Amino acid sequence: MANIVLVIHLIIALAMMVVILLQRSEGGALGIGGSGSGGTGLFSARGSANALTRTTAILAVCFMVTSITLALLAGSGRESRSILDAPAVETPAAPAEPAVPLSQ
């Protein structure tokens, strides 16, 4: 089950990268230039931007859902343990004399 969700998660991530890179940047030049068409149809500049924005939002929601699903699948079936409940590990004591004599 986790493998299937992981593959879907990766496909959504790749699709989201493509959709984000297709969008037009409006950061540095707000209002400068602009498109000459000015139409508001489906595949005009504004219509395609709205479609890409909606697609990005849908992919982002799907990405978050698969992320949460993977986190829940990774944590399920595990028994919670405390390190305080584990038995103490004894370290071996160092020998009093070296095993090989240093000088005679």
pTM score, whole prediction: 0.58
- The per-residue pLDDT for 32 is 44
Spatial contact of 81 and 27, defined as CB atoms under 8 Å apart: no
- The per-residue pLDDT for 43 is 56
- The per-residue pLDDT for 71 is 93
3 pLDDT more than 80:
yes
Spatial contact of 46 and 39, defined as CB atoms under 8 Å apart: yes
- The per-residue pLDDT for 84 is 78
pLDDT mean over 7-33: 79
Percent of the chain with pLDDT over 90: 36
60 pLDDT more than 50:
yes
92 vs 61, which has greater pLDDT?
61
pLDDT tens, position by position, 80-96: 777 777 777 777 776 66
